[in-house]
Structure 1
Amino acid sequence: MSYRTALSEVLAGLAGPAAEAAAVRGRFPRGAVTALGHAGLLGLTVSTEFGGGGRGLPEAVDVVARTAPVCPATAAVLRSHYTAVAVIEAHGGPWLRAEIAAGRQLASLALAESEDEQAGEGDGPEADSRLLVPGSMATRSGEVVALRARKQRVVAAGEADLYVWSSRPLAAPDGLTLWAVPAHAPDLFVPARPSLAGPRGSATSTVFADPVLVPAEAMLGADGAGLDVVLRTVLPWLLELRAAADVRRPPVLDPALDPARDPGGTRRPAGTLAAS
């Protein structure tokens, strides 16, 4: 089954009451995320070596563009997930990559530290520039690192299984350092009331660490080298996926009228999206 066919089946189940629950009542689309994991779409961009789909940014863009008109909250979750996975693919360990490929780990970004939570979703060059200068601290004691921070505009806050987290370097003179922080780590705190940022239902909120303890091996890449990762990986993925999420083409109700097909020639089920 192609990833587009798998996505069409997920979106067919998401349309209607499920999408309305996210948009109107602000409910996190947990059912959609679970279905995406079972369909292999959370692991779409993980290497086939670890059981993933072996696809890249173009396919991730396609998934987000097709999802956004049905459920903006799910599209926002996927945007953050795929960007975080791009970092993990480059610097994460085999176990974590296999878990994502199997659909058992939803990843998110915990990079922004702006104080202005009223500034909407935080998109745009000014918001992106804030990802480059983390104020959070990292202190190492033996093989354990203590991270202290208040991360803003974290999508799927309290719902994700893993955060790609930034801090000041441990010892490097400049740059930033990236970490894989499990959401179940003690002393991570997410407010019960989500912030005003992000699409309704995306659970976009603040994540507090005061501190959170992680093993030193949770570092993604070298100490201080995270700035290059943000510039070369995070920002390009975010920009492309943000543009995809802004696509608002209506769903095609009658597949017989839809000239766009999967590569194998299969028409999409009724109620799914036309190709972007």
Structure 2
Amino acid sequence: MSYRSALSHVLSSTIEPCAEQTSASERFPRASVTALAEAGLLGLTVSPHLGGGGLGLVEAADVVDRVSRACPATGAVLRSHYAATACLEAYGTPWLRRKIAEGQHLSTLALTDDGDSTATRTGDVVALRARKREVIGAGEADSYLWSSRPDDGGARPALWLVPADAPGLFVPARPDGTGPRGSCAATVCADPVLVPASAGLGREGGRNAGVLGTVLAWLATLSAAGPEIAEPAGVEALA
């Protein structure tokens, strides 16, 4: 089955029927995300040898566009997930990429703050401190791609993979962000969150600029694809 056929089925069977309730209740569209996962659409851009669809930005933008028109909240969640997955496909572990391909892992972006995001390394542990605003799927995603000031004195921001169950991560009980109703956009706090130094993405060879550039390029295109989704304020400052 082509991705378009799979998407059409998910749209008609789950996303469209649930869209009004998602907006009215402001609850995370779990049924829609689960249906996308079961149809292989969360893993649309993961390598085929890991079980993914092996497709690219053009197809991902098509999916985000069609989903956003039916349910802006689900579109926002998918947009953040695809942008995060593009980075993880380039720099993540095969184990994590396989989980995404299997529809068992949802990721999101934690990029926007007030310039107070820091990373302090002690041995093999890094302490991340920040208040990340407008995080889509806060409290619902399995991981966050988290930006910070460089921990090594470099000029470019660093990017970290932060598991949702990382010690010190605080997500408010109710969303407070400006994303579509039901997207669970909220401020996520770290004071601090402790992650292993190996959680840094694209660190070898001074590739911090490349890893963040991957995310921002996908984010810009996917934002344009979703007519009801505004790009988070302040993201351009990371480039």
TM-score strictly above 0.5: yes
Greater gyration radius: 1
Residue 146 of structure 1 aligns to a residue whose secondary structure is strand
- 1:142 offset after TM fit, Å? 2.1
Distance 1:165 1:147 in 2: 9
**Unpaired segments of 5 or more residues in structure 2?**
230-239
Q: Kindly state the Cα deviation for residue 228 of structure 1 after the two structures are TM-superposed.
A: 3.6
* Paired amino acid for 1:246: P
1:177 corresponds, among 154, 158, 162, to 158
- Render the CA deviation track for 1:177-227: whole Å, top value 9, x for unaligned: 111100111221111121141100000111001111111111101176433
- Report if the CA contact (8 A) 1:165-1:178 is conserved: yes
1:212 aligns with 2:193: yes
Deviations 1:74-97 (A, max 9, x none): 000011000000111111111111
2:15–2:32 CA contact under 8 A, matched in 1:
no
Q: How does 1:49-128 map to 2 (within 5 A)?
A: 49-114=49-114
Retained in 1: the 8 A contact 2:125–2:194?
Answer: yes
Alignment of structure 1 residues 175-254 onto 2, 5 Å: 175-222=156-203, 225-230=207-212, 232-246=213-227
Equivalent residue number for residue 158 of structure 1: 139
> Which residue in 1 is equivalent to 2:118?
137
Cα displacement (A) at 1:152: 0.6
Please tell me whether the aligned partners of residues 176 and 225 of structure 1 are also in contact (alpha carbons under 8 angstroms): no
Assess if the C-alpha contact under 8 Å between 1:14 and 1:70 holds in 2. no
Distance 1:112 1:155 in 2: 11
Supply the distance in 2 between the matched residues of 1:247 and 1:139 (Cα, whole angstroms): 37
Q: Say if 2:42 is the partner of 1:22.
A: no
State the distance in 2 between where 1:221 and 1:229 align: 6
Tell me the distance in 2 between the aligned counterparts of 1:83 and 1:140: 27
Q: TM-score, normalised by structure 2?
A: 0.90
How many residue pairs end up in the alignment?
A: 228
The structural deviation recorded for 1:67 is: 0.6
Query: CA RMSD of the aligned region, Å?
Result: 1.7
Cα deviation for residue 17 of structure 1 reads 4.5
Counterpart amino acid of residue 89 in structure 1: E
The one-letter code sitting in structure 1 at the alignment partner of 2:66 is R
Aligned partner of residue 217 in structure 1, secondary structure:
helix
| Contact map agreement 1:178 1:219 (CA 8 A) in 2 | yes
Q: In structure 1, list runs of 5 or more residues that go unmatched.
A: 115-133, 249-276
Q: Percent identity?
A: 59
* Structure with the bigger percentage of helix: 2
